Chains A and B, each alone.
Chain A
Amino acid sequence: MKILALYRIKGGVGKTSSAVNLAYNAALGGYRTLVWDLDPQGASTYYFRIKPKIKGGSKDLMAGKRDLDGLIKGTDFANLDLIPADFSFRNLDLLLDDKKHPTQQLKKRLSPLAKDYDFVFLDCPPSISLLSEAVFKAADVLLSPVIPTTLSLRTLAQLNAFINDNEFKNTRLIPFFSMVDRRKTLHKAIMGEVLADYPDMLKTAVPYASEIERMGLERKPLPAYKDKSRAADAYSELWQEILTQMKT
């Protein structure tokens, strides 16, 4: 079981859209796939038409009263399951802080699922917190969407340093471009620059596309309503590239 976290301090950069569509592609390839919606806003839960509620809330979960397995919901798609968000997740940091080894908690909860899933996608809320550290500890890969602006490059450098300076050496940071507008000269210029500096940066970029925005109306992963589109192709290629990267 490989754990992939969609993470970025900044909000609204395409974490949730990517988590949902990449997980859909993984499941389509026959991998047993799970999405865990860690964001109390429950956006990925919403896209799968599942109620943003878990039995006992985050309290029972963190107290070890409930196994993750009992919270899993099957989505409408083969091989693809989800652990819904819950509004109580907004207090997750406080609950974690009460624990002896707060940053170990996510990893510990997920480990019993190792035989059931090939890939777990963590859809994280935008922040840097105790939860983020627990995510870094659990994840094999941090997938980080980057909008090509100078500012995002600075924060990417910071994140990279944070991961490498601390006890998260087992996590690999794989950034990729998100919401790319090819018509903007700035986007193009920055992308060229970054590809030279970050060899790990994925070659496939997710374009800025109105059909991705429509996910909120359709309440489905993009390929489930618009299979033949540039954006759907981009997610599929992105997933293939991630698979290849993980093998090296």
Chain B
Amino acid sequence: MATHFELPANLTAEALFASLNDKYETHLVSNQFFLKTYYDSFDWRLYKADLTCEFNRSKQSSSFTLINRKTNELVASTILFDVPSFSRQFNPGKVRQTLEPILEMRALLPICTLEGETSLINIVNKDGKIVLNLLIDEFELLNNRLTLLPVKGYNKVAEQIVEMVTKELGLSAVDRPVLLDALKLQGRKPKSYSSKLTFQLTPEMPTDVACKSIFTHLLSAIKINEQGTIADIDSEFLHDFRVAVRRTRALLSQASHVLPEEALTRYKDFFSWLGQITGETRDLDVYLLNFEQYKKKLPAVIRQSINPLQHFLLAKQKKSQKQLAKKLNSSKYMTTLAEWQKYLQAIPHENPPETETQSTIKHFADQRIWKTYKQIIKKGGGIDKHSPPEALHNLRKTCKKLRYLMEFFAGLYPERRIATLIKYLKNLQEVLGSYQDYAVQQQQLQQFSEEMQRINTPNKTFLAMGVLIQDFEVRKGKARDQFSSEFSIFNKSETHSSFHTLFGAGK
């Protein structure tokens, strides 16, 4: 049985109530103004998890409610007067339990607000027993809605009323949340942002056109995340911003014959600068995000001693973020980015392609992926127990490059096969990544402790930091040991022939 209905535009809530009152004994329990604000993360995590999140305020109450948007079932609800930014800031309970794994580090943002009037109505039988509860919601700019809240064991009345309102009064069943209508009113729709690559390439596209369309996509990702980064809403804005910057750099480094020399140097410098100015804040973000985990690694007796480090990092992150925000508001940033945009929009191109086949994006992708793949095999094969850390670091960068290339051009290859190869690469990257991360974090921790010497820090904090540094050392060693076995998996002959068939056949 449907329980959610939309009133026709010409039927007022009052008229509906009057019609019900003619046939049934009704009690108006309450009638009040409400303010309903929908919340989600910037990347629509709740919506993607089939949840809508409402913050409802009225004179009598203020509540925060999670609803399954597919079944309309109430998932969790709590009384709340201010919505915190992060799920970890909610009081322990079902709401927080539901939000935490979905939102992780992402902040809750208001999506849109609806104003209206809501009436709760009971229908009672001869004995004065409530047999059905009804909600009528009147909105300013949307069609009004009727919601039935049936009482167990009294379905007959509910069915009669459904029959009456649909057949006689012209109401229609709806299953989409009001949120969708409200967004539509503003010309928006959910899931409008995702950090995934979503452009379309075809094999025959000229290389420069295809590259420009990838650059354009990445530029829009940079711009979308820029304001959230400046405002420091959550750490993911900067993360996605940096990913887009790195991807741009990776493609620029491959695009020597797509862009004229002068422009190439200029933009390579610019995006490298962007990488630099965002690096410190991101490193601190990562520290703070992992802080609870680090803490858990410490023996219980000294666990609390590490807290001054957290305060130190928080303060340092704030400062670093402020400086970053300043740079993102600078004219250097704004004008160069605007020029880059103009450059991408300009019609190509002075120098015509060399030959027919070489000019297609498929050919370009084959060539670059195959070449980078071979570099990895060569570099990785040369690494043994005695190689310096730089060798692994260098290999890690090449792997990242290959990963970006494969992701940019994934659409040009059979989906399943390229996905499998990306997965193999990912496993290798993970070992290299943790080796590098532990090394960097260890080094930074050393540096932090030097800085903290100067600010009156208790000795036991240094002791706890020493334990962490030691722990990083152990983990770093483990990752290093794992490398050779992970690399030999990647270097299997079947994987090699898959890479060859997919990308190297032209050679």
Contact = CB atoms under 8 A, between A and B. Distances in A.
B282 to A, nearest CB: 43
A73 interface: yes
B159 to A, nearest CB: 15
Interface stretch (B122-130, B349-357, B383-391, B485-493): B122-130
Given A71-B153, A74-B151, 16 more contacts: A48-B129, A49-B129, A50-B127, A50-B129, A51-B127, A72-B152, A72-B153, A73-B152, A73-B154, A74-B152, A74-B153, A74-B154, A76-B130, A81-B152, A81-B153, A219-B128
A40 B127 CA distance: 19
Nearest to A83: B153
A74 B127 CA distance: 14
Contacts of A51: 127
Nearest to A84: B153
Nearest to A70: B153
B128 A73 contact: no
A219 B126 CA distance: 13
A2 B130 CA distance: 27
Contacts of A81: 152-153
B153 A49 contact: no
Nearest to A73: B153
Contacts of A219: 127-128
A202 B129 CA distance: 34
A62 B348 CA distance: 84
Residues of B contacting A: mostly: loop
B153 A76 contact: no
Contacts of A71: 153
A158 B130 CA distance: 43
Contacts of B128: 49, 219
A124 to B, nearest CB: 22
| Highest count of chain B CB atoms <10 Å: which of A49, A50, A74, A81 | A74
10 contacts: A48-B129, A50-B129, A72-B152, A73-B153, A74-B151, A74-B153, A74-B154, A76-B130, A81-B152, A81-B153
Interface string A49-75: 111000000000000000000011110
Interface string A110-149: 0000000000000000000000000000000000000000
| Highest count of chain A CB atoms <10 Å: which of B129, B130, B153, B154 | B153
* Pairs of residues from A and B, 5 with the lowest C-beta to C-beta distance, nearest first: A73-B153, A49-B129, A74-B151, A74-B152, A49-B127
Interface string B163-182: 00000000000000000000
A210 to B, nearest CB: 22
A73 to B, nearest CB: 4
Nearest to A69: B152
Contacts of B154: 73-74
Contacts of A73: 151-154
Interface string B108-138: 0000000000000000000111100000000
Interface string A25-62: 00000000000000000000000111100000000000
Contacts of A72: 152-153
A2 to B, nearest CB: 21
Interface in A6-35: none
Nearest to B130: A76
Interface in A76-108: 76, 81
Contacts of A76: 129-130
Contacts of A74: 151-154
A222 to B, nearest CB: 17
B29 to A, nearest CB: 11
A194 B488 CA distance: 80
Contacts of B152: 72-74, 81
A71 B152 CA distance: 9
A81 B130 CA distance: 12
Contacts of B127: 49-51, 219
A123 to B, nearest CB: 18
B101 to A, nearest CB: 23
A51 B126 CA distance: 11
